[in-house]
A and B are shown apart, each in its own frame.
Chain A
Amino acid sequence: MVRGLSKISMVVIIIAVIVIGAVASAMIFMQQAPGQPITPTTPLTTPRTTPQTTPTPVTTPGQAIVSKKDTLKVAIGTDLDSVDPHGQTTTTVQNVVRHVYETLLWFDENGNVIPWLAERWEVSPDGLTYTFYLRKNVRFHDGSEFNATVVKANVDRWIDPTTRVPLRLQLGPVKGAEVVDTYTVKIYLKEPFAPFLRALANYLLITSLGIIKKFGNATITEVVGTGPYKFASWEKGKRVVLERNEDYWGSKPPIKRIEWLIIPETSTRLAALLAGDVDFAYSLPATDLERVKNDPKFTVLTPTSNRVIFIAILPKGPLNDPKVRQALNYAVDKNAIINSVLYGLGIAADSPIPPHFFGYAKMEPYQYDPQRARKMLEEAGFPFDKELVLLHPTGRYLQDKQVAEAVQAYLSRIGLKVTLRTMDWPSFVAAITKPLDQKDYDLLLLGWGPGVADAHFTLHGQFHSSQAPPRGLAAAHYNNSEVDSLLEQAMRELNEAKRVELYKKAIEIIWRDAPWIFLYTQKWFYATSKDLKGYWVYVDGEMIFFDRAFFG
């Protein structure tokens, strides 16, 4: 049988040839096949305009920054779902396309609203009419001009009920738009909406008239904006490539090309960064924070997100007592959870909204005090034999399952019986959108992160009685007419100082009523190679912009 061996080696060689052949041919096939590049091809002929007098957050007057490398590679976790400027929902996706699309207003690094495609604006005293004076000599990547007609077309498409705009009402109660002259446009609201300018700066991405005419209310699949980068190609599930807009109206970005690589697994994103395959990686595993921090080759970013994480307490039975709910707040050691479960990636809650939000008011934190919690429950006559069910999603928020387990442990330490019910995100959402009488659990862990850092979006979405499920997703079914009225007034109040005051009052009541176990504001963990500089963090603490980034 020994002679059989040479036969085997022959088989091996033959199979090896087949392998190489198969791989090579498939690779050729693959190079040709992937996703149709969506390319705005029209070359621009207009001369580049000089930046206007309006402040842009660029710090180098005159001299352009030179980047040592032309291509920036960025690792993100999700593929683009939609490139429709009015169909954006996922922050990562928005982050990519916002290098191409621009908005009338924009934010500086401190979160202040600044002029952008609109040079200035006026608000009517009744808060129903906003007049925008537009920047001149701005052109889209398809060569067409940016003007009032374009803005009106974008507003019209946004409010058209037949267009799929998932966050339509987040922009506010927009009635319509009117062209005053070529560079002046009015936007009308149905009722005063104080966060309108911030919402406008975040949501209304502007595309060209040609694109709107071509697609109408159908999903837009061609990416044409006025931004510093042009959309070059998109290979589904693999990468999106942006190329510098050489005719950009503002300061030209130092980096020529950005490749957004889609790497779904967090550990792989980290590996790609460590291996030098990418220069910047989004949302890395918290467990590796220390290790990357200690590596001199990388810079770690831990920006504060717009997302608060909390345990909503359903107002049923003994939990319908504010004293009981306060007791639960004293029972949980948030700082310990942040330090040991989140590896420091959180800010302990001292308000129902994150500290960087407009309308934030700092409250006296519920200090961890299990004895006090136990005593308060006893005084309230809490039935300690009652079993509480804590519902929580898994894989949705940073360490969500572990946080739920920690809360369970803290509550059982004061003698409560808590059972965890773990769900995948879709089932979890289905469970929390049911009406109160159909909910067979008592507590739920949820995160709430609106796109705009304004108290309205968290407080109204979570504590206005009109938003209780199934009509909305106000998880705790909170119902307090005083809070309702304060939130409504604040939504209409154009005077910012008065508005802050109204939110402070509402927050004080909410804090005392404790419809949640207030936990923390989540932070992100991003990392970049040391030589990448000049990128900046958006006000939502989640998007990163590379229009001023360079390799130095």
Chain B
Amino acid sequence: MSLARYVGIRVAQAIPTLVGAMLVMFVLVRILPGDPARLIAGPEALEQDVQRIREQLGLNKPLYLQFVDYMSSILRGDFGTSIKYRTPVIDEIMARLPYTITLALAAEAIAVAIALPLGIYSAIKPRSKASYIASVLSLVGASTPIFWIGLIFIYVFAVSLRILPSSGADTPRHIILPAVTLALLLMGNLTRITRAAVMEALGSNHVLTAISKGLGSRVILVRHVLRNAMIPIITIMGIQVGALLGGAVITETVFAWPGIGSLLIDSLFYRDYPLAQGIILFIVFVFIVINIITDILYAYIDPRVREVLWRAGRS
């Protein structure tokens, strides 16, 4: 089947991307000044002890040998051992992953639930009050520091009103504040893109034709306008979910949400090379997968894209 073949080609194309990304990040994390052995032992530790740790970590080997070691263990499915935590990198990532996925999906879902209707409505009625509110909200959401919003939410809902927990990740109630905070950030973009896409579709010839044919407004909106407007919306949603799965660093830190993002920052701060590499590799992987999924979704929604893809698959 040609769609399967198309997916196959995309996956094959992803392999050099992954290897390239690995090489780049391997070099990049090591270009940063800093010595993991000293950072872990602390400044007060004696140099002989620190030197011993360097040897144990293999950090005294030449860089190219370290890279060869790293690549060969990746091929064996071993992502290495975290320098700081001394546990397999894969275990550290898996412990945090459920939290990251939950937060990403919840935030994106909230953003979509609000931004999509808002965007559509303000495109249909560009001069309405709702439309103005939508523009202001999206501007505020996109430009306010998320750190500040997060703290304000905590102080209002946890400290003053005491209706939600201040931080942590124990019950579904714990996800409300971080998810809404993140959603505010996402909504801005999503509303604007939706509004622009719907407005563009509204002005296109086939919609004019449909109106002149006397089709009902509901049919026009769903079948002719939204379907055409969905492509840019799905693209932006894909990018947003991809970015969120890489961890929402600031939100996670403010709300003590134990996700991937805070782990990545932590690993870079300790120059925990294997852990940082593992997380970045994971993020690259997520982006590739999401890109493939988005492309398939395009094909599903837009028969024209499907046609092109299938032709490409046959060639």
Contact = CB atoms under 8 A, between A and B. Distances in A.
B302 to A, nearest CB: 19
B218 A3 contact: yes
Contacts of A275: 154, 158-159, 162, 165-166
B282 interface: no
Interface in B92-107: 92, 94-99, 101-102, 105-106
Contact of B256 (A23, A26, A268, A472): A268
B110 A19 contact: yes
A26 B41 contact: no
A236 B53 contact: no
Interface string B116-139: 110011001100000000000000
Nearest to A77: B256
A8 B44 CA distance: 62
Contacts of A471: 47
Given A11-B116, A23-B102, A268-B167, A167 B222 contact: no
B255 to A, nearest CB: 7
A244 B284 CA distance: 44
Contact of A263 (B38, B45, B167, B216): B167
A33 to B, nearest CB: 4
B50 A166 contact: yes
Q: How large is the interface on B (under 10, 10 to 19, 20 to 34, 35 or more residues)?
A: 35 or more
Interface in B145-162: 151, 154-155, 158-159, 162
A424 B97 CA distance: 27
A11 B121 CA distance: 12
B98 A271 contact: no
A102 B85 CA distance: 22
A274 B222 CA distance: 49
Contacts of A271: 151, 154-155, 158-159, 166-167
B258 A236 contact: yes
Given A23-B175, A166-B41, A271-B151, A426 B102 contact: no
Contact of B120 (A8, A166, A169): A8
Given A26-B105, A167-B49, A4 B218 contact: yes
Nearest to A238: B258
A45 B171 CA distance: 36
A22 B33 contact: no
Contact of A265 (B53, B84, B254): B254
Contact of B262 (A19, A168, A264, A448): A264
Nearest to A16: B113
A268 B222 contact: no
Contact of A12 (B39, B113, B124): B113
B109 A433 contact: no
Nearest to A35: B95
Contact of A22 (B39, B45, B95, B109): B109
Interface residues of A, number: 80
Nearest to B33: A430
B67 interface: no
A42 to B, nearest CB: 24
Contacts of A2: 217
Interface string A24-56: 101101100111000000000000000000000
B241 to A, nearest CB: 12
A169 B33 contact: no
B172 A27 contact: yes
Contacts of B44: 167, 170, 448-451, 457, 461, 473
A424 B271 CA distance: 12
Contacts of A33: 94-95, 97-98
B214 interface: no
A180 interface: no
A19 B109 contact: yes
A164 interface: yes
Nearest to A268: B167
B168 interface: yes
Given A236-B96, A268-B255, A22 B105 contact: yes
B210 to A, nearest CB: 12
A450 to B, nearest CB: 5
A161 interface: yes
Given A19-B110, A277-B167, 16 more contacts: A26-B105, A33-B95, A35-B95, A81-B84, A166-B45, A166-B49, A166-B50, A167-B42, A221-B87, A236-B95, A238-B256, A262-B256, A263-B167, A427-B33, A470-B47, A473-B43
Interface of A: 1-9, 11-12, 15-16, 18-19, 22-24, 26-27, 29-30, 33-35, 79, 81-82, 84, 87, 89-90, 161-162, 164-170, 219, 221, 235-239, 261-265, 267-268, 271-272, 274-277, 424-427, 429-431, 433, 446, 448-451, 457, 461, 470-473
Q: Ordered nearest first, which 5 A-B pairs have the shortest CB separation?
A: A237-B258, A426-B34, A26-B102, A166-B41, A430-B33
22 contacts: A3-B217, A15-B109, A15-B112, A22-B102, A22-B109, A26-B106, A89-B40, A89-B45, A166-B53, A168-B49, A170-B46, A235-B95, A238-B258, A261-B167, A261-B168, A271-B151, A271-B159, A274-B159, A276-B162, A426-B33, A429-B35, A429-B39
